[in-house]
Amino acid sequence: LRQVGVWFSNRTLAMDAATLALNASDSLANKTLIITTILENPYVMRVGGAGGPERYEGFCVDMLRELAALLKFRFHIKLVEDGLY
């Protein structure tokens, strides 16, 4: 945990200027994220497998690919074992 601001009893919030200047794209660059999800058409669907590499496609996967390209991160999709939320 890192303190990023202070809340005063007179309903005033004081934020650390360095925190406000944080660029999300810099914090994700060159990192690999593990995305945990379930299969749910049309958002995340399994393709391939059966001898080949398991791949996923769908609306959420397309969004992840676009974000990864813009913010310069990698990701790995991991399905939850019980298939539930």
Provide the number of structural domains found in the chain: 1
Bridge partners (DSSP) of residue 13 are 7
Predicted pLDDT at 6: 86
CA 78 remoteness from chain centre: 12
Amino acid, res. 79: L
In a domain, 18, yes or no: no
Q: What's phi and psi for 31, nearest 5 deg?
A: -110, 155
Does some domain include residue 12? Answer: no
Per-residue pLDDT of 28-81, as tens digits, reads 889 999 999 999 999 999 997 677 777 999 999 999 999 999 889 999 999 999
Between 78 and 14, name the one with better pLDDT. 78
Task: Identify the pLDDT of residue 80.
Answer: 93
Give the residue numbers spanning the domain of 71.
Answer: 23-79
- Nearest in space to 71 (alpha carbons), one of 43, 32, 41, 20: 32
Contact (CB, 8 A) for 71 and 30: no
What is the domain-level CATH number for residue 30? Answer: 3.40.190.10
